[in-house]
Structure 1
Amino acid sequence: MKLLAVDTATARLCVGVRNGDQSRSDASTGSAAHARSLPQRVSDLLAAMGLTPKMLDAIVVGVGPGSFSGLRIGMGFAQAMAWALDRPLVPVGSLEAMAAHCLQRNHQAEAVWAALDARMGSVYAACFGPDGSGELRPRSPVQEWPAEAFFHARAVDQRDAANDCRRTWLVGNALGLAQAQAVDAGVWGGVDAEALPHPEPLLRLGAMRLAAGHHVSAQALTPLYVRDRVALTRAQRAAGEQLGAP
């Protein structure tokens, strides 16, 4: 199976290529100029793996949630390639990719809360667990939360979970929004405040989903948008309303 994977939903530009049992990935963080660097990185990785675009079986693409403009860069690029090559697209959620990466590296974990900084004091978050086949089982819907409400709810969850809490991980750059006392690393199986989507789980999940027939055409690809509004009116702010819903 020959796959290309792309995710530009966050500040990390993720590109991966799989050729049979071999894969190579490129994940760089720190520049939002994905549109300028994405085509060259894809070209370089394909060449390094001895592939041309026409040899690809499918394209795996991160569909968010994440930055609106960043997300559209990767999805637009993947759609254009899929259209030109007449290849299927395999959508993978960016939070799913984060959770899958954590579960692969930490086999004792039974669940992962993945949380991305959604700006404006909010987070995009969802919980996932392994299903025994290498796939992920959602344990909560993908939602936008006010950051304070999200971290308070997770703290309550951990206290209520008692002995089970040590098998749940909390990962994602949204942890940078938490007050120090809001995330007690001692009650989690692990905490990773640097986690972002990574190409390897995109390739792995993409391969499984393609084999299972879970793919879409270029014209049918849709982003995973969670936020239905990006600002509050003065009256809404004065009334204490917040973006996101707990």
Structure 2
Amino acid sequence: MSVKILALDTATENCSVALLVDDKVYVRSEVAPRDHTKKVLPMVDEVLKEAGMGLSDLDALAFGRGPGSFTGVRIGIGIAQGLAFGADLPMIGVSTLEAMAQGVYRKHAVSHVATAIDARMSEVYWGRFARQDDGTWTAADAECVMPPQLVADESVTDEQLWFMAGTGWDAYSAQLAEVKFNTQKSEVLFPDAEDIVQLAKIEFAKGNTVDAEEASPVYLRDTVAWKKLPGRE
């Protein structure tokens, strides 16, 4: 099936854009923690120009739905919605944790990934994923936010080797070193639109899209930033 999907992600320190045109992918990616708003739209323009396309030529627009930085997730979904509204495109939200698992698979061809993003406040965004034959990922541990020591305490022994992805492994290395399953390092620290777009392609083929006004983020800890606003408790 011929498909053209644009994906973007600003949920973590990494800012990335990817354009999938059939089997070819045009990518831009840069670790730029404070410059997402400046960089993401120029990246979109660059990949579209490289492919010789416009937004109206696309079939769908995908985005990293979180978890991640509260501000970063909001930036990503806001920009994605604006583009989708303007071009009347359906949207596909993809888990940033699952995207990191896909990134490890792309680099190492392995099917079991344990993801941990540093969530600050002595917590991690956590999830473990196993890749299926159809290219989808099944959650071995449901996505959640929790203290890394609790991750270790609640882990169970198994015979599977789990590849590590995300900033949480380094940020809380002492606590997460106590997990009871076998682990192997990978160089994947952040989600990337290059992997989001591949997962979005699978969802698009299944008809799993939403209208732009229905696109929603996944914060996992969505009350924290709200409570920090002046006058809130």
Q: Provide the TM-score with structure 2 as the length reference.
A: 0.88
Corresponding residue SS for 2:66: coil
RMSD: 2.2
Query: Residues 211 and 169 from structure 1, CA distance in 2 versus in 1: closer, same or farther, beyond 3 angstroms?
Result: same
Relative to structure 1, the CA distance from residue 76 to residue 182 in structure 2 (aligned partners, 3 Å threshold; closer, same or farther) is: closer
Q: Give the 3 Å change call, closer, same or farther, for CA 55–141 of structure 1 in structure 2.
A: same
Task: State whether structure 2 residue 190 is matched by structure 1 residue 203.
Answer: no
**Corresponding residue for residue 224 of structure 2:** 230
Partner of residue 63 from structure 1, selected from 56, 62, 65: 65
The answer (yes or no) to whether the contact 2:166–2:188 under 8 Å persists in 1 is yes
Whether the 8 Å contact between 1:170 and 1:188 is mirrored in structure 2 is no
1:105 paired residue number: 107
Task: Decide which moves more: 122-131 or 25-34.
Answer: 25-34
1:165 CA displacement: 3.3
Q: Is the Cα contact below 8 Å between 1:32 and 1:70 reproduced in 2?
A: no
One-letter code aligned to 2:69: S
Give me the whole-angstrom Cα distance separating, in 2, the residues matched to 1:179 and 1:207: 34
Q: 1:108 to 1:223 in 2, by over 3 A?
A: closer
In the alignment, the residues of structure 2 paired with residue 230 and residue 72 of structure 1 have an alpha-carbon distance, to the nearest angstrom, of 14
Deviates more, 1:38-47 or 1:25-34: 25-34
2:173 counterpart of 1:173: no
Matches within 5 A, 1:79-90: 79-90=81-92
Superposed displacement of residue 152, structure 1? 4.1
Q: Measure how far apart 1:138 and its partner are.
A: 1.6
1:18-43 deviations in Å (ceiling 9; x for gaps): 11221111111133211111111100
Structure holding more helix per residue? 1
**Contact 2:152–2:178 (8 Å) recurs in 1:** no
Residues 88-119 of structure 1 deviation map (CA, whole Å, 9 limit, x = unaligned): 0011010010011112333344x211110101
Matched residues in 2 for 1:212 and 1:22: separation? 20
Using the TM superposition, give the Cα deviation of residue 60 of structure 1 relative to its aligned residue in structure 2, in angstroms: 0.8
Shift of 1:181: 7.0
Q: Aligned equivalents of 2:89 and 2:189: distance in 1? A: 30
| Contact kept in structure 2, 1:3 and 1:203, CA below 8 Å | yes
Could you say which residue in structure 1 is the equivalent of 2:210? 216
After TM superposition, the structure 1 = structure 2 runs for residues 74-223 of structure 1, keeping only pairs within 5 Å, are 74-109=76-111, 111-154=112-155, 157=156, 160-161=157-158, 164-166=159-161, 168-180=162-174, 182-183=176-177, 188-192=182-186, 194-223=188-217
Q: Percent identity?
A: 29
- Evaluate the alpha carbon distance shift between residue 182 and residue 39 of structure 1 in structure 2; reply closer, same or farther with a 3 A threshold: closer
Secondary structure at the counterpart of residue 213 of structure 1:
coil
What is the correspondence of 1:5-20 to structure 2 with a 5 Å cutoff?
5-20=7-22
- Paired AA for residue 200 in structure 1: E
* Unaligned segments of structure 1, at least 5 residues: 234-246
Aligned length: 224
Give distance in 1, aligned partners of 2:64 and 2:219.
12
